[in-house]
Amino acid sequence: MTTIKLIVKQLQGGECTIEALPTTSILDVKRLIYSHLQIPIEEQKLLLLGRTLADDQTVQAYPIKDGTKLNLVVKKPEGLREAAVKYFKSLGMTDGESVNATNRLLKIAQEKFNKLSWDDIDRLSMDCLLDESGQSRPAPQNEPDEEMYSL
């Protein structure tokens, strides 16, 4: 099977060229775009002639040939408020109930965050960064380092 060169143009200015087989899924095309442009897959929306390409379809499902230009729209990631409202709605809550539950959640999160020390925030931030990179924080040593207490 022959590979097809696709030119991906980001509406905000970035561009890359990728190669795919006709049997490559659109989701895999997005993975290739991520490797070139570092735009998270969930924030990518690919368009061909104004039509959104579905992740579960293949390149050959669309009128794509060698040298075809695809437009890449970068979707703004949802904020915590939007994600929470959507989640509560998925549980069967009404619009009003989901907004109220979201407001309570955000109030509790803010109160909890305000009680954290700078050290707690530093540890939380480091854990988040390590988690994103697939690493974990080293286990704390049970015994204090003797050099730490020496003069």
Q: Convert the pLDDT of each residue in 113-144 to its tens digit.
A: 899 999 998 888 888 888 777 777 776 666 55
Instruction: State pTM to two decimals.
Output: 0.56
According to the CATH classification, is domain 4-74 in 3.40.50.150? no
Domain residue ranges of the chain, discontinuous segments joined by +: 4-74, 89-132
Give the residue-averaged pLDDT of 10-33: 93
% of the chain at pLDDT higher than 90: 62
Cβ contacts of residue 141 below 8 Å, gap of 6+? Answer: none
Residue in this structure with the two tokens 């009003």, named with its chain if needed: 96
- Residue that wins the pLDDT comparison between 150 and 30: 30
Give the residue-averaged pLDDT of 59-71: 95
Give the residue-averaged pLDDT of 48-70: 95
